[in-house]
Structure 1
Amino acid sequence: MSLFRYAAPLGALLLAACSTFSVSNQWKDPSWPGPPASNVLVLGVTKSDTYRHVFEDTFVQQLQGAGVQAEQSYSQIPAGSNSEKLGDVIKSTGAQVILTTRVQRVEQKLNVTPSGPAWGGFYGWYGGAWASTPDVTQYDQVTLETTVWDAKSQKVIWSVTTEGVGTSNIPQATQDLAKTIIPKLKSDGIIR
Protein backbone atom coordinates (compact mmCIF):
# COMPACT_ATOMS: atom_id res chain seq x y z
CA MET A 1 0.00 0.00 0.00
CA SER A 2 1.41 3.41 -0.93
CA LEU A 3 -0.18 5.36 1.92
CA PHE A 4 3.12 5.89 3.76
CA ARG A 5 4.52 7.68 0.73
CA TYR A 6 1.98 10.49 1.18
CA ALA A 7 1.95 10.83 4.94
CA ALA A 8 4.52 13.32 6.26
CA PRO A 9 6.12 12.72 9.64
CA LEU A 10 3.66 13.47 12.38
CA GLY A 11 6.41 14.66 14.71
CA ALA A 12 6.73 17.81 12.64
CA LEU A 13 2.97 18.29 12.92
CA LEU A 14 3.01 18.01 16.66
CA LEU A 15 6.08 20.16 17.19
CA ALA A 16 4.39 22.90 15.24
CA ALA A 17 0.84 22.12 16.29
CA CYS A 18 -1.71 24.88 16.49
CA SER A 19 -3.81 25.91 19.43
CA THR A 20 -6.75 27.07 17.31
CA PHE A 21 -7.57 26.20 13.74
CA SER A 22 -9.42 27.71 10.82
CA VAL A 23 -10.26 25.80 7.66
CA SER A 24 -8.68 27.40 4.61
CA ASN A 25 -9.43 24.84 1.87
CA GLN A 26 -11.57 21.74 1.56
CA TRP A 27 -12.11 19.06 -1.09
CA LYS A 28 -14.26 15.95 -1.41
CA ASP A 29 -14.07 13.44 -4.25
CA PRO A 30 -17.41 13.92 -6.06
CA SER A 31 -17.22 10.38 -7.45
CA TRP A 32 -16.84 8.69 -4.05
CA PRO A 33 -19.96 6.55 -3.69
CA GLY A 34 -19.98 6.37 0.12
CA PRO A 35 -21.75 5.45 2.34
CA PRO A 36 -20.35 7.42 5.28
CA ALA A 37 -17.74 5.33 7.10
CA SER A 38 -18.48 3.86 10.49
CA ASN A 39 -14.95 2.51 11.08
CA VAL A 40 -11.79 4.66 10.90
CA LEU A 41 -8.12 3.75 11.26
CA VAL A 42 -6.09 6.69 12.60
CA LEU A 43 -2.51 6.68 11.39
CA GLY A 44 0.36 8.85 12.60
CA VAL A 45 3.79 8.57 11.00
CA THR A 46 6.58 9.84 13.27
CA LYS A 47 9.82 8.75 14.85
CA SER A 48 8.47 9.73 18.28
CA ASP A 49 6.27 7.08 19.88
CA THR A 50 4.97 9.70 22.31
CA TYR A 51 3.77 12.07 19.57
CA ARG A 52 2.23 9.21 17.64
CA HIS A 53 0.35 7.97 20.71
CA VAL A 54 -0.93 11.46 21.60
CA PHE A 55 -2.18 12.09 18.05
CA GLU A 56 -3.81 8.70 17.50
CA ASP A 57 -5.29 8.40 21.01
CA THR A 58 -6.83 11.87 20.81
CA PHE A 59 -8.41 11.35 17.39
CA VAL A 60 -9.70 7.88 18.32
CA GLN A 61 -11.25 9.23 21.53
CA GLN A 62 -12.89 12.14 19.70
CA LEU A 63 -14.17 9.92 16.86
CA GLN A 64 -15.62 7.42 19.32
CA GLY A 65 -17.24 10.29 21.21
CA ALA A 66 -18.88 11.26 17.91
CA GLY A 67 -20.30 7.74 17.54
CA VAL A 68 -17.78 6.34 15.06
CA GLN A 69 -15.71 3.20 15.62
CA ALA A 70 -12.03 4.12 15.45
CA GLU A 71 -8.72 2.46 16.21
CA GLN A 72 -5.13 3.58 16.68
CA SER A 73 -2.63 2.08 14.29
CA TYR A 74 0.26 2.11 16.79
CA SER A 75 -1.11 -0.88 18.69
CA GLN A 76 -0.67 -3.06 15.59
CA ILE A 77 1.89 -1.29 13.41
CA PRO A 78 5.27 -0.68 15.04
CA ALA A 79 7.26 2.36 13.97
CA GLY A 80 8.99 1.80 10.66
CA SER A 81 6.75 -1.10 9.56
CA ASN A 82 6.44 -1.74 5.87
CA SER A 83 3.30 -1.07 3.88
CA GLU A 84 2.39 -4.76 3.64
CA LYS A 85 1.82 -4.77 7.41
CA LEU A 86 -0.42 -1.71 7.01
CA GLY A 87 -2.61 -3.54 4.51
CA ASP A 88 -3.00 -6.46 6.93
CA VAL A 89 -3.98 -4.10 9.76
CA ILE A 90 -6.57 -2.32 7.63
CA LYS A 91 -8.15 -5.66 6.78
CA SER A 92 -8.08 -6.94 10.37
CA THR A 93 -9.64 -3.77 11.80
CA GLY A 94 -12.34 -3.57 9.15
CA ALA A 95 -11.51 0.11 8.66
CA GLN A 96 -13.38 1.68 5.78
CA VAL A 97 -11.23 4.83 5.75
CA ILE A 98 -7.79 5.90 6.98
CA LEU A 99 -7.25 9.35 8.48
CA THR A 100 -3.81 11.01 8.30
CA THR A 101 -2.56 14.54 9.00
CA ARG A 102 0.63 16.21 7.83
CA VAL A 103 2.31 19.59 8.02
CA GLN A 104 2.02 21.39 4.71
CA ARG A 105 4.11 24.39 5.75
CA VAL A 106 5.25 26.50 8.69
CA GLU A 107 5.81 30.20 8.10
CA GLN A 108 7.27 32.71 10.51
CA LYS A 109 5.04 35.76 10.66
CA LEU A 110 5.65 39.20 12.06
CA ASN A 111 2.78 41.33 13.35
CA VAL A 112 3.53 45.03 13.82
CA THR A 113 0.89 47.12 15.57
CA PRO A 114 1.80 50.77 15.62
CA SER A 115 1.04 52.65 18.80
CA GLY A 116 -0.10 56.08 17.77
CA PRO A 117 1.06 59.29 19.29
CA ALA A 118 -1.14 61.05 21.83
CA TRP A 119 -3.57 63.60 20.50
CA GLY A 120 -4.36 66.92 22.10
CA GLY A 121 -2.92 69.39 19.72
CA PHE A 122 0.28 69.47 17.77
CA TYR A 123 2.57 69.58 20.79
CA GLY A 124 1.01 66.47 22.37
CA TRP A 125 1.08 64.65 19.06
CA TYR A 126 4.68 65.63 18.30
CA GLY A 127 6.01 64.54 21.71
CA GLY A 128 4.00 61.30 21.57
CA ALA A 129 5.23 60.49 18.06
CA TRP A 130 8.81 60.38 19.33
CA ALA A 131 7.93 58.39 22.44
CA SER A 132 5.64 55.78 20.90
CA THR A 133 7.03 52.47 19.70
CA PRO A 134 5.17 49.77 17.77
CA ASP A 135 4.17 46.46 19.36
CA VAL A 136 6.01 43.67 17.46
CA THR A 137 4.99 40.02 17.75
CA GLN A 138 6.64 37.08 15.97
CA TYR A 139 4.81 33.75 15.62
CA ASP A 140 4.66 30.56 13.54
CA GLN A 141 1.69 30.10 11.24
CA VAL A 142 1.18 26.38 10.68
CA THR A 143 -0.75 24.94 7.74
CA LEU A 144 -1.87 21.32 8.17
CA GLU A 145 -3.39 18.97 5.64
CA THR A 146 -5.72 16.24 6.89
CA THR A 147 -6.48 13.52 4.35
CA VAL A 148 -8.94 10.64 4.39
CA TRP A 149 -8.22 7.61 2.21
CA ASP A 150 -10.73 4.99 1.08
CA ALA A 151 -9.41 1.66 2.37
CA LYS A 152 -10.63 -0.39 -0.62
CA SER A 153 -9.52 1.84 -3.49
CA GLN A 154 -6.51 3.37 -1.63
CA LYS A 155 -7.50 6.76 -3.07
CA VAL A 156 -7.93 10.11 -1.40
CA ILE A 157 -11.62 10.86 -0.90
CA TRP A 158 -11.45 13.96 1.29
CA SER A 159 -8.88 16.57 2.20
CA VAL A 160 -8.89 19.77 4.22
CA THR A 161 -6.21 22.32 5.09
CA THR A 162 -6.27 24.15 8.39
CA GLU A 163 -4.25 27.08 9.64
CA GLY A 164 -3.35 28.25 13.09
CA VAL A 165 -0.69 29.67 15.36
CA GLY A 166 1.95 27.26 16.66
CA THR A 167 2.02 26.18 20.32
CA SER A 168 3.95 23.77 22.52
CA ASN A 169 0.82 22.34 24.21
CA ILE A 170 0.60 19.24 22.00
CA PRO A 171 -2.32 17.45 23.74
CA GLN A 172 -4.52 20.55 23.65
CA ALA A 173 -3.57 21.38 20.06
CA THR A 174 -4.39 17.83 18.95
CA GLN A 175 -7.78 18.02 20.69
CA ASP A 176 -8.47 21.35 18.98
CA LEU A 177 -7.57 19.85 15.60
CA ALA A 178 -9.89 16.89 16.19
CA LYS A 179 -12.72 19.23 17.24
CA THR A 180 -12.25 21.15 13.99
CA ILE A 181 -11.91 18.15 11.66
CA ILE A 182 -14.50 15.66 12.95
CA PRO A 183 -17.58 17.89 12.49
CA LYS A 184 -16.41 18.59 8.92
CA LEU A 185 -16.05 14.85 8.26
CA LYS A 186 -19.62 14.34 9.46
CA SER A 187 -21.15 17.26 7.55
CA ASP A 188 -19.41 16.15 4.33
CA GLY A 189 -20.73 12.61 4.70
CA ILE A 190 -17.28 11.00 5.08
CA ILE A 191 -18.11 9.50 8.47
CA ARG A 192 -21.53 8.75 9.93
Structure 2
Amino acid sequence: MKLLRLFVIAVSVVLCACSTVSVTNQWRDPSWAGPPASNVVVVGISRSDTMRRVFEDTFAQQLQAAGVQAAASYTQIPPGNGGSVRLRDLVKGTGAQAVLVTRVERVQQKVNVTPSGPYYGGFYGWYGGAWASTPDIHQYEVVTLETSVWDARSEKLIWTVTTENVATSDIPKTSTQLAQTLIPKMKADGVLR
Protein backbone atom coordinates (compact mmCIF):
# COMPACT_ATOMS: atom_id res chain seq x y z
CA MET A 1 0.00 0.00 0.00
CA LYS A 2 2.91 2.35 0.72
CA LEU A 3 4.23 1.69 -2.79
CA LEU A 4 0.87 2.79 -4.23
CA ARG A 5 0.97 5.97 -2.11
CA LEU A 6 4.50 6.80 -3.33
CA PHE A 7 3.38 6.20 -6.92
CA VAL A 8 0.41 8.58 -6.53
CA ILE A 9 2.70 11.27 -5.06
CA ALA A 10 5.25 10.83 -7.86
CA VAL A 11 2.58 11.03 -10.56
CA SER A 12 1.04 14.20 -9.11
CA VAL A 13 4.47 15.88 -8.89
CA VAL A 14 5.32 14.90 -12.47
CA LEU A 15 1.94 16.08 -13.79
CA CYS A 16 2.36 19.45 -12.10
CA ALA A 17 5.94 19.80 -13.34
CA CYS A 18 4.97 18.94 -16.93
CA SER A 19 1.83 21.01 -17.02
CA THR A 20 1.10 22.84 -20.18
CA VAL A 21 -0.84 25.95 -20.95
CA SER A 22 -4.54 25.35 -21.43
CA VAL A 23 -6.84 27.79 -23.22
CA THR A 24 -9.98 28.47 -21.21
CA ASN A 25 -11.65 31.21 -23.29
CA GLN A 26 -11.01 32.73 -26.70
CA TRP A 27 -12.61 35.56 -28.69
CA ARG A 28 -11.94 37.16 -32.07
CA ASP A 29 -13.66 40.30 -33.32
CA PRO A 30 -15.91 39.04 -36.13
CA SER A 31 -15.94 42.47 -37.78
CA TRP A 32 -12.15 42.74 -38.03
CA ALA A 33 -11.16 42.17 -41.66
CA GLY A 34 -7.38 42.12 -41.27
CA PRO A 35 -4.89 41.86 -42.81
CA PRO A 36 -2.96 39.53 -40.49
CA ALA A 37 -0.08 41.24 -38.68
CA SER A 38 3.49 40.51 -39.66
CA ASN A 39 5.00 42.99 -37.20
CA VAL A 40 4.06 43.02 -33.49
CA VAL A 41 5.06 44.90 -30.33
CA VAL A 42 5.02 42.60 -27.27
CA VAL A 43 3.96 44.08 -23.91
CA GLY A 44 4.10 42.21 -20.61
CA ILE A 45 2.25 43.79 -17.70
CA SER A 46 4.10 42.96 -14.47
CA ARG A 47 5.19 44.71 -11.30
CA SER A 48 8.53 42.95 -11.70
CA ASP A 49 10.64 44.62 -14.37
CA THR A 50 12.76 41.47 -14.64
CA MET A 51 9.75 39.23 -15.24
CA ARG A 52 8.46 41.71 -17.81
CA ARG A 53 11.75 41.75 -19.69
CA VAL A 54 12.13 37.96 -19.67
CA PHE A 55 8.53 37.47 -20.86
CA GLU A 56 8.76 40.07 -23.63
CA ASP A 57 12.13 38.81 -24.89
CA THR A 58 11.01 35.17 -24.86
CA PHE A 59 7.66 35.81 -26.56
CA ALA A 60 9.25 38.10 -29.16
CA GLN A 61 11.85 35.40 -29.94
CA GLN A 62 9.08 32.83 -30.40
CA LEU A 63 7.20 35.18 -32.73
CA GLN A 64 10.37 35.75 -34.77
CA ALA A 65 10.93 32.01 -34.98
CA ALA A 66 7.39 31.76 -36.41
CA GLY A 67 8.19 34.35 -39.10
CA VAL A 68 6.64 37.40 -37.40
CA GLN A 69 8.72 40.51 -36.75
CA ALA A 70 8.46 41.39 -33.05
CA ALA A 71 9.81 44.00 -30.66
CA ALA A 72 9.82 43.96 -26.85
CA SER A 73 8.23 47.10 -25.41
CA TYR A 74 10.57 47.42 -22.41
CA THR A 75 13.34 48.64 -24.72
CA GLN A 76 11.63 52.03 -24.95
CA ILE A 77 8.81 52.05 -22.43
CA PRO A 78 9.40 52.27 -18.67
CA PRO A 79 7.23 50.17 -16.36
CA GLY A 80 4.04 51.70 -15.03
CA ASN A 81 0.98 53.37 -16.43
CA GLY A 82 2.74 56.47 -17.82
CA GLY A 83 4.04 54.86 -20.99
CA SER A 84 1.05 55.16 -23.32
CA VAL A 85 2.57 58.02 -25.36
CA ARG A 86 5.86 56.15 -25.70
CA LEU A 87 3.98 52.99 -26.66
CA ARG A 88 2.26 54.86 -29.49
CA ASP A 89 5.66 56.15 -30.64
CA LEU A 90 7.18 52.64 -30.42
CA VAL A 91 4.35 51.14 -32.48
CA LYS A 92 4.72 53.83 -35.14
CA GLY A 93 8.52 53.65 -35.08
CA THR A 94 8.65 49.89 -35.56
CA GLY A 95 5.85 49.81 -38.12
CA ALA A 96 3.97 47.30 -35.97
CA GLN A 97 0.47 46.41 -37.13
CA ALA A 98 -0.52 44.90 -33.77
CA VAL A 99 0.25 45.10 -30.07
CA LEU A 100 0.19 41.86 -28.05
CA VAL A 101 -0.38 42.39 -24.32
CA THR A 102 -0.26 39.73 -21.62
CA ARG A 103 -1.18 40.25 -17.98
CA VAL A 104 -1.93 38.11 -14.95
CA GLU A 105 -5.67 38.00 -14.43
CA ARG A 106 -5.67 35.95 -11.23
CA VAL A 107 -3.77 33.39 -9.16
CA GLN A 108 -5.75 30.68 -7.37
CA GLN A 109 -4.60 28.33 -4.63
CA LYS A 110 -5.60 24.74 -5.39
CA VAL A 111 -5.44 21.67 -3.20
CA ASN A 112 -5.40 18.12 -4.55
CA VAL A 113 -6.28 15.52 -1.92
CA THR A 114 -5.68 11.90 -2.85
CA PRO A 115 -7.11 9.50 -0.30
CA SER A 116 -4.90 6.52 0.27
CA GLY A 117 -7.78 4.38 1.53
CA PRO A 118 -7.84 2.00 4.44
CA TYR A 119 -6.80 -1.64 4.29
CA TYR A 120 -9.52 -4.23 3.87
CA GLY A 121 -9.99 -7.68 5.28
CA GLY A 122 -13.13 -7.33 7.31
CA PHE A 123 -14.28 -4.52 9.51
CA TYR A 124 -11.44 -4.78 12.02
CA GLY A 125 -8.78 -4.71 9.30
CA TRP A 126 -10.52 -1.76 7.69
CA TYR A 127 -10.89 0.07 10.99
CA GLY A 128 -7.22 -0.28 11.89
CA GLY A 129 -6.16 0.71 8.37
CA ALA A 130 -8.42 3.77 8.42
CA TRP A 131 -6.48 5.13 11.37
CA ALA A 132 -3.13 4.31 9.77
CA SER A 133 -3.86 5.78 6.35
CA THR A 134 -3.87 9.52 5.74
CA PRO A 135 -4.59 11.31 2.48
CA ASP A 136 -1.82 12.76 0.32
CA ILE A 137 -2.19 16.52 -0.01
CA HIS A 138 -0.61 18.57 -2.79
CA GLN A 139 -1.00 22.37 -2.81
CA TYR A 140 -0.28 24.43 -5.92
CA GLU A 141 -1.21 27.68 -7.63
CA VAL A 142 -2.98 28.09 -10.96
CA VAL A 143 -2.19 31.28 -12.86
CA THR A 144 -4.75 32.69 -15.28
CA LEU A 145 -3.29 34.96 -17.96
CA GLU A 146 -5.12 37.23 -20.35
CA THR A 147 -3.44 37.80 -23.71
CA SER A 148 -4.93 40.42 -26.01
CA VAL A 149 -4.04 41.57 -29.50
CA TRP A 150 -4.86 45.15 -30.46
CA ASP A 151 -4.95 46.48 -34.02
CA ALA A 152 -2.42 49.34 -34.20
CA ARG A 153 -4.32 51.27 -36.87
CA SER A 154 -7.81 51.27 -35.34
CA GLU A 155 -6.60 50.87 -31.70
CA LYS A 156 -9.34 48.23 -31.22
CA LEU A 157 -9.18 44.88 -29.52
CA ILE A 158 -9.24 42.19 -32.22
CA TRP A 159 -8.38 38.97 -30.37
CA THR A 160 -8.18 37.86 -26.76
CA VAL A 161 -7.67 34.62 -24.90
CA THR A 162 -7.41 33.46 -21.29
CA THR A 163 -5.09 30.63 -20.38
CA GLU A 164 -4.32 28.64 -17.26
CA ASN A 165 -1.08 27.05 -16.14
CA VAL A 166 0.36 25.73 -12.90
CA ALA A 167 2.51 28.46 -11.37
CA THR A 168 6.25 28.15 -11.72
CA SER A 169 9.24 30.41 -11.19
CA ASP A 170 10.66 29.43 -14.60
CA ILE A 171 9.42 32.45 -16.57
CA PRO A 172 11.31 31.63 -19.81
CA LYS A 173 9.81 28.13 -19.91
CA THR A 174 6.30 29.38 -19.12
CA SER A 175 6.60 32.19 -21.70
CA THR A 176 7.79 29.71 -24.32
CA GLN A 177 4.89 27.36 -23.54
CA LEU A 178 2.43 30.25 -23.77
CA ALA A 179 3.88 31.42 -27.10
CA GLN A 180 3.92 27.91 -28.54
CA THR A 181 0.27 27.53 -27.58
CA LEU A 182 -0.96 30.93 -28.76
CA ILE A 183 1.03 31.68 -31.91
CA PRO A 184 -0.52 28.79 -33.91
CA LYS A 185 -3.99 29.89 -32.70
CA MET A 186 -3.35 33.50 -33.76
CA LYS A 187 -2.14 32.30 -37.17
CA ALA A 188 -5.15 29.99 -37.60
CA ASP A 189 -7.50 32.86 -36.64
CA GLY A 190 -5.88 35.18 -39.18
CA VAL A 191 -4.52 37.55 -36.53
CA LEU A 192 -0.87 36.82 -37.42
CA ARG A 193 0.66 36.15 -40.82
Tell me the TM-score normalized by structure 1: 0.85
Asked if the contact 2:46–2:103 (Cα under 8 Å) also holds between the matched residues in 1, the reply is no
Q: SS where residue 161 of structure 1 aligns?
A: strand
How many residues of Structure 1 are paired with residues of Structure 2 in the alignment? 175
Asked if the contact 1:19–1:173 (Cα under 8 Å) also holds between the matched residues in 2, the reply is no
Distance across 2 between alignment mates of 1:59 and 1:135 = 37
Q: CA RMSD in A?
A: 1.7
Q: Which residue of 1 aligns with 2:4?
A: none
User: How is 1:1-192 mapped onto 2 (pairs within 5 angstroms)?
Assistant: 20-80=20-80, 81-192=82-193
| CA-CA distance at 1:20 after TM superposition | 2.4
Percent identity, aligned pairs only, is 68
Greater radius of gyration (CA): 2
| CA-CA distance at 1:128 after TM superposition | 1.2
Asked if the contact 2:45–2:104 (Cα under 8 Å) also holds between the matched residues in 1, the reply is no
Q: SS where residue 43 of structure 1 aligns?
A: strand
Q: Describe the superposition over 1:6-40 as per-residue Cα deviations: whole angstroms up to 9, x where unpaired.
A: xxxxxxxxxxxx96210000000000011111111
- Output the amino acid matched with 1:169: D
Q: SS where residue 104 of structure 2 aligns?
A: strand
Distance across 1 between alignment mates of 2:68 and 2:117 = 53
Tell me the TM-score normalized by structure 2: 0.84
**Which 4+ stretches in 1 moved above 6 angstroms?**
none
Q: SS where residue 34 of structure 1 aligns?
A: coil
| CA-CA distance at 1:170 after TM superposition | 1.6
Consecutive unaligned residues in structure 1, runs of 5 or more: 1-17
Consecutive unaligned residues in structure 2, runs of 5 or more: 1-17
- Output the amino acid matched with 2:52: R
Asked if the contact 1:19–1:167 (Cα under 8 Å) also holds between the matched residues in 2, the reply is no
Asked if the contact 1:117–1:125 (Cα under 8 Å) also holds between the matched residues in 2, the reply is yes
Normalized per residue, which structure has more helix? 2
